[in-house]
Amino acid sequence: MHIGITWRAIIRKNHSKNKLKRAICDIWYEIDVINRSYERTNKNQGECMSQFSQLNNSLSLNPIDQVRPDAPQLAKFGQYCIGVQTIELVNKDQLDVLSINDANPSPRYDRPLTLEVWYPSKTLDASTSKQQSRGEYKGVFLRDGETQVTLTGRAQRNAPPIKTDSAFPLIIISHGYPGNRFLMSHLGENLASKGYVAVSIEHTESTYQNKAAFGSTLVNRPLDQMFVLNEITRLSKLPQHFLEGLVDTDNTGLIGYSMGGYGALISAGAGVTQKSIEYDWGAPNESLKMHKAGSEAHADLIDSRLKAVIAFAPWGRNHDFWDAKGLAGIKVPIMYIAGSDDDVSGYETGVKALFEESVNTDRYLLTYQYANHNAGAAIPAPYESWKKSESLGYAPFEHYADPVWDSVRMNNIAQHFCSAFMDLKLKNKQQQASYLTLVSDSGEGVFSVDDNNQPTQAHTYWKGFPQGSAKGLSFAFKPKE
């Protein structure tokens, strides 16, 4: 259309033959200009499509190990290369909660559990850094329990563990309901690179592909956690096992998210209420009574090897699974991490109430302002989760992401605080306490450094955070009362 208009305009302006010749030349010039413009447009579009393709390819790799340029200091990966292996366990002769009925009030079964284990494999230096290739986690189920995807990270499958004279502390990771052992894999890799053995449990009857009645999760979550602690202890003493001499289970940390956080609180000493035992939608036949506050069975669960707990959005206080009496049983240092707009576990009557009532231990509370239930815990939403699931009726993306916060930023902040807390409590690195001694509202912190980029006396900004990068966060600490 543009060429036709140009042709008619030039002919009207040039009536003589000589002028017509010049007009024809002008027409060819116009055509050449248009062709060149078209070529440039195609080239630019091609470059844009190439950049989009590269971005698309990057997203489709589903990386779990991203660290943003503005990430806080301790989010960065540590000095070790990372190995990863999968372990299959069976906890024999357990209460089969799903099969309880009037005729058989206490059925038993052998309960299988799958673990993903990250560990230091060798010291990271210039040469090993160049040799490191991307590791893959294949066949990982999404929230719909149907779609399987591949995640990528830094861990190398079945890499030999580092030879060490000093065993590394153990950190047990426990996912939500439903979830899987990869839901918090960003923490598994990150912590292993810093000298920990991180073990993530895949809780039977609580995963995307085998989610069952809620009562099983209520009863089994803390039992699974403590069984894994015992089994890792056994394997660490088993000749020729890759964990032999590698892990120090006398210094164990526990990280739980949502129902994993629920289990972590029970494992840490918080016995449940009689009211929660009697819920008709809870565990059948009052099978939850084994975790009742003050009961002998719950007292037997408590293990002195557990030295630190981090609970992301722990579920239960907003449904009266605990009261002040039960929470007084927590004697292990604990860090709570939550979103202020959590509509699953609750905040004021949920996670914040847990923080306030855990009076017999030192406790911390990190809050992502305006974040919902997924604050900091879950990996970034895999690329395939962006598509609507017909079985769920929504995109699984919602299970991983937050409407307000960037997932990688939340992960990096969580990695920073988990590293500081576990270093302090499991490795006795007292210098890490300064990362946990903060003004409560990050917005009130003053960023002031000298010409050598060293903090001045006026500097009160959150330690380890680049200027402006702590916005939207708050932090609280209360000592044992």
**DSSP classification of residue 92:** E
Is 97 contained in some domain? yes
- Candidates 232, 445, 261, 397; CA nearest to 335 is 261
Tens digits of residue pLDDT in 199-222: 999 999 999 999 999 999 999 999
Helix axes 17-60, 2-13, angle to 10 degrees: 160
Residue 179 CA to residue 378 CA, distance in Å, equals 10
Q: Taking the CA of residue 13 as centre, how many other CA atoms within 13 Å lie in the half-sphere pointing to its CB?
A: 12
Pair 22, 118 in one domain: no
Strand partners for 272: 292
Instruction: Tell me the β-bridge partners of 253.
Output: 171, 308
Residues 169 and 187 in one domain: yes
Question: Is residue 38 located within the same domain as residue 177?
Answer: no
Which domain-ending residue is among 38, 59, 80? 59
54 and 73: one domain?
Answer: no
Write down the pLDDT at residue 231: 98
Q: So what's the pLDDT on residue 133? A: 82
460 inside domain: no
In this structure, the chain runs to a length of 481
Cα separation, 211 vs 411, whole angstroms: 26
pLDDT for position 129: 56
Question: Same domain, yes or no, for 121 and 260?
Answer: yes
Instruction: Give the torsion sign (CA, 318, 320, 321, 325).
Output: positive
Same domain, 71 and 55: no
Domain holding 383, by residue range, is: 61-436
CA distance linking residue 21 with residue 25, whole number of Å: 6
| φ/ψ (deg, to 5) at 182 | -100, -5
Question: What's the CA gap between 112 and 401, in Å, rounded?
Answer: 30
| C-alpha of 416 from chain center | 12
- 3-state SS class at 437: coil
* DSSP summary character for residue 407: H
Which of 40, 59, 78 is a domain's end point?
59
**What is the DSSP track for 166-180?**
SPEEEEEEE--SSB-
The predicted structure's pLDDT at residue 124: 72
The pTM for the full model equals 0.88
3-state secondary structure of 480: coil
Q: How many angstroms separate the CA atoms of 253 and 85, rounded?
A: 20
Instruction: Mark whether 176 and 194 lie in a shared domain.
Output: yes
* 186 sits in which H/E element: helix 185-192
pLDDT the model gives residue 57 = 54
In-domain check, residue 31? yes
User: Could you report how far apart the first and last alpha carbons of the chain are, in Å?
Assistant: 82
Is 134 in the same domain as 45? Answer: no
Same domain? For 84 and 173 the reply is yes
Residue 127 has a pLDDT of 59
**pLDDT, mean of each 10-residue run, the chain (481 residues):** 40 44 45 47 43 49 97 98 98 98 97 98 68 88 98 97 96 98 98 98 98 98 98 98 98 98 98 98 98 98 98 98 98 98 98 98 98 98 97 97 98 98 98 98 96 95 97 98 95
Q: What is the rounded CA–CA span in Å between residue 63 and residue 85?
A: 18
Q: Which two tokens stand for residue 244?
A: 């032999």
Cα angle 173, 169, 226 (rounded to 5 degrees) comes to 45
Count of domains observed in the chain: 2
Same domain, 212 and 118: yes
**Residue 382: which of 101, 147, 135 has the closest Cα?**
147
Q: Indicate the residue among 59, 82, 103 that finishes a domain.
A: 59
Q: Are residues 23 and 67 in the same domain?
A: no
Q: Is residue 479 part of a domain?
A: no
